[in-house]
Amino acid sequence: MPSWTLKPFKLPKDLVFKKLGQQGLKRTHYLTFHKDNAAKKYYQDFIQNLEEEFGALEA
């Protein structure tokens, strides 16, 4: 499980994160949604969280 998914939670001090391999495990993430939903606040909040974590998203 990526460590960024757990950032919002209070974690035990003895929990240790380890990389898988020298470079870690990397993958491309995609987000799709219907254009009618683009203005909904919860979509905008979700997109903002992704951008804060991964950088600006391409349209």
Total-model pTM: 0.48
> Would you write out the chain's pLDDT as a tens digit for each of its 59 residues?
667 777 788 888 898 877 788 877 777 777 788 989 889 999 899 888 888 877 766 65
Report pLDDT for 40.
94
Share of the chain above pLDDT 70, in %: 90
Are the C-beta atoms of 29 and 54 separated by less than 8 Å?
yes
CA–CA separation, 1 vs 8, rounded Å?
Answer: 14
